Amino acid sequence: MLSLGKNLLTSADTSAINQVEDFNRRGEKLKNKENENGIMKRRSFLKFCSMTALSSAAPLSLFSRSPANTFPERSLAFYNTHTGEFVKSLFWIEGKFIPDALEEINYILRDHRSDEIKEMDTGLMNLLWKLRKKVGVQKPFHVISGYRSPRTNELLRKRSRGIAKNSLHLYGKAVDIRIPGVKLSSLREAALELKAGGVGFYPKSDFIHIDTGRIRCW
């Protein structure tokens, strides 16, 4: 596959071949990095499997032209302001979501009042990743509210007129956040510029709301 004459290759194909070879080299290094019991670390194993599958099965055009390949890895960090829990998860590798990492994120974004867990929208994870990249920081998101069970949402509605009856928090498609060291107004502007869903601004409570619903703001 990689022995094609140079005169027949486009610059995109050459770039793709170089990436395939790089993936193979990285895969070999990961295989050799075993722990004392001779078992590859779980994260490294998942990463190696993803790279191997892509390098052996994907067409050249997928490597050279796919926008996803621009950032082969995506990670997020969260701090739950109610439970004090922290997690940093590598949730996306070479165009594929990592199920175990998503489970970690689902857990920390659970309804802290009832401990109910909801599968969070993967589109929301990508939106959060883009938002953190746009503001140019690697700090964790401080989470005020992630998933809300129907019972919790109804309880909050009785306390505040600002809680929607059919809130997207109920469906795992919304999160209320802030980032320490980043002005809340700047975080809001960055979210608005992404034009990827709803953005709410709550300066008195020191958080913004973002969701993957229709584009709107308040």
- Residues 108, 128 contacting (CB under 8 angstroms): no
Q: Tens digit of pLDDT for each residue in 35-92?
A: 444 434 444 444 444 444 444 444 433 333 444 456 789 999 999 999 999 999 999 9
Q: What is the mean pLDDT of residues 188-208?
A: 98
State the alpha helices, DSSP H only, in the chain. Answer: 11-32, 42-57, 60-65, 99-108, 122-135, 150-159, 184-194
Model confidence pTM above 0.95: no
Distance CA 158, CA 162 (A): 10
Q: How confident is the model at residue 3 (pLDDT cuts 50, 70, 90)?
A: very low
pLDDT digits (tens, 9 = 90+) for 114-172: 999 999 999 999 999 999 999 999 999 999 999 999 999 999 999 988 899 999 999 99
Domain ranges of the chain: 6-70, 73-217
For range 193-217, the mean pLDDT: 98
189's tokens: 């502007």
Cα 74 from chain centre: 6
Place of tokens 């070479």: 94
Residue 134 in contact with residue 190, Cβ under 8 Å? yes
Output the pLDDT for position 48.
43
Q: Return the CATH number of 73-217, one of 3.40.50.970, 3.30.1380.10, 3.40.50.720, 3.40.50.1980.
A: 3.30.1380.10
Question: Tokens for 205?
Answer: 């409570």
Give pLDDT, residue 58: 42
> What tokens does 175 get?
């999160």
The tokens describing 14, both together, are 């050459």
pLDDT band at 8 (very low <50, low <70, confident <90, very high): very low
pLDDT of 191 above 70? yes
Here the tokens at position 37 are 């019991």
CB contact at 8 A, 174 and 124: yes
Q: Which of 6-15, 133-142, 188-197, 209-218 has the lowest mean pLDDT?
A: 6-15
